[in-house]
Homo-oligomer: A and B are copies of this chain.
Amino acid sequence: MPYFDAASSAPLHPVARQALQASLDEGWADPARLYREGRRARLLLDAAREAAAEAVGCRPDELVFTSSGTRAVHSGIAGVLAGRRRAGRHLVVSAVEHSSVLHAAATHEGTGGTVTEVPVDRAGSVAVEAYADALREDTALACLQSANHEVGTEQPVAEVAEACRAAGVPLLVDAAQSLTWGPVPGDWSVVTGSAHKWGGPAGVGLLAVRKGVRFAPQGPADERESGRAAGFENIPAIVAAAAALRAVRAEAAAEAPRLRALTERIRARVPALVPDVEVVGDPVRRLPHLLTFSCLYVDGETVLHELDRAGFSVSSGSSCTSSTLTPSHVLRAMGVLSEGNVRVSLPLGTPEEDVERFLEVLPGVVSDVRRKLGAPEAAARGTESASLVVDSLGKLCPIPVIELAKVIGDVPVGGTVTVLADDEAARLDIPAWCEMRGQEYVGEEPSERGAAYVVRRLS
C-alpha cells in the first residue's frame, strides 16, 4: 500500500525507532537534576544537540529543540521580531510560505506590525531582486522557505540571504521540507525544522539561531532550552530525531538522484497519460522526491478518495480537500490550476514498481471521475453565438470550469463566455484554464451574487 505523502509526515525511520526505544530507559529524568538519572538524561540531550547541530550546520549552543516544527517557526519569528523591535516592525515573507509562517505573520499584523508578501512566479519561486526590494529600513525579519511544501520548488535561499545580509536584516529559513537532503545553503540567521518530516518522531522541532542575532523569547519564562522552548524536554524523541536526521543524510546521496528520476518520470508521463493536466512547480530547481499536478474537470477530494481505494495515499491543495474550502494559498499565489490537484511526495526507499503502478492506475481514476461529472471529452460543437452566459452559481469546483469548457466551442472565435460563479476556487481556476487552453481571460466583472468571469475564445 504505497504511501506517497512524505511531505505531510514520513513513517518513522528504523534508526529512529531503535534510538527511541534505547533512550526510553535512559532519557526520562529531568536533565536539570544532578543525580545520576538526570546526568544520564543530560548526556543524551547534549549528544543529540551535537548531532543535530552538525547536520544543520551550526554550533550546538545555537540550536534548541522545540515541541514541533510549527512551534519552532512561531517561536523563531516572535523571538526575532521582539529582539529587533528597535529596528522596526516590518516583516517580509514569501507568498508561498507554510501556514505556520503566514499565521505568525498574521499575528504580527494583528498587534500593529506590517507585513510584505513577496510574490512568486508561475513556478512558485521568488525573484531575488523582488525579495531584496521588499527589505526596508524598518524590516526586523525576513522569512523564506528552503523549498515549497506543496510544489517542491526550491527558493534562491543563498542569494536572498546575501541580500538580507547586505540590508542588515536577519533571514529565517523554514527548512522543514529540505533538511532530509542537506543543510540550508548560504548565510542564514535562523533555521527551523520538523523531525517527523525527516523520519524522526512527532513532538520534536528544531530552532537554530546564529550567535549575534538579537533574540528575545516571548511568552512566560522557562529556563529550559536556553529559554527558547518552554516545557519539559522530550529526550527520547529528541535522541530519535537526531539519529534519524543522521541516518537520512547518510542515505540522501544515493536516494536523491534515484527519487529525482522517479518523480521526473511521473512529471513527464502524467501529461501523456492523462489529458488536460498541468504539472506545476519548477521542473529543475526542486526537491527530489516531490511533484504536483492538477487535472482539469475533476475534484481533488474524489481523486484522493479513488486513489486511496486503489492503495495510494497522496495529498491535494484543491479547495474541496481543505477545511476552509478555499484552494491552497500556494497554488493561488502561483496562479496555476488548483482543481484536481494531486501532490506526490515519495518517502525514502520508495520502490520503482510502486511508481509504475501509480502511473497505471491514475489515468483510469481521473477519467472515471470526469465521466461521473460529465466533463467534456472533446470540444462540443453547437450553434455559435457571439456571447454566452453560464450560470454556475451555487456549484462547487470543478463544475464551473467544466461548464465553461462545454460551451466555449459554442461561441465563435472572438466571442465571449461569461461564467457566473460563487465558489472561491473559480477565481483561480478559470484564469488557469484559459492559460492552459490558450484562451483569453478578460477579467472579472461585478455581479449580484458571486462574480462574473469573462473569457474570450481565441482558438
Chain A contacts to B: CB under 8 angstroms: 1, 3, 5, 8-12, 17, 20-21, 24-25, 28-30, 32-38, 67-71, 74, 100, 103-104, 106-107, 194, 196, 201-203, 205, 219-223, 230-237, 301, 304-305, 307-308, 312-315, 321, 323
Task: Establish whether residues B201 and A315, one from each chain, have CB atoms under 8 Å apart when the complex forms.
Answer: no
> Contacts A35-B313, A219-B74, A234-B203: A24 and B12 contacting too (C-beta < 8 A)?
yes
Task: Establish whether residues A234 and B201, one from each chain, have CB atoms under 8 Å apart when the complex forms.
Answer: yes
> Contacts A69-B231, A100-B220, A220-B106: A313 and B202 contacting too (C-beta < 8 A)?
no
Please pick, from B29, B106, B230, the residue contacting A68 in the complex, using a CB distance under 8 A: B230
Query: What is the distance, in angstroms, from A209's C-beta to the closest C-beta of chain B?
Result: 18
Task: Establish whether residues A304 and B67, one from each chain, have CB atoms under 8 Å apart when the complex forms.
Answer: no
Task: Establish whether residues A196 and B313, one from each chain, have CB atoms under 8 Å apart when the complex forms.
Answer: no
Which chain B residues border A74 with CB–CB below 8 Å? 219-220, 230
Most buried by B among A10, A106, A220, A312: A220
Query: What is the distance, in angstroms, from A79's C-beta to the closest C-beta of chain B?
Result: 13
Query: What is the distance, in angstroms, from A319's C-beta to the closest C-beta of chain B?
Result: 15
Task: Establish whether residues A24 and B34, one from each chain, have CB atoms under 8 Å apart when the complex forms.
Answer: no
> Contacts A202-B232, A232-B9: A33 and B221 contacting too (C-beta < 8 A)?
no
- 7 chain-A/chain-B pairs, Cβ below 8 angstroms: A5-B30, A8-B29, A67-B231, A71-B231, A106-B220, A107-B221, A219-B219
CA distance A104 to B205 in the complex (A): 23
Task: Establish whether residues B33 and A11, one from each chain, have CB atoms under 8 Å apart when the complex forms.
Answer: no
Which chain B residues border A68 with CB–CB below 8 Å? 67, 230-232, 234
> Contacts A35-B5, A36-B313, A323-B223: A235 and B202 contacting too (C-beta < 8 A)?
yes
Task: Establish whether residues B35 and A202, one from each chain, have CB atoms under 8 Å apart when the complex forms.
Answer: no
The 4 closest A-B pairs by CB, nearest first: A68-B231, A67-B67, A203-B234, A35-B313
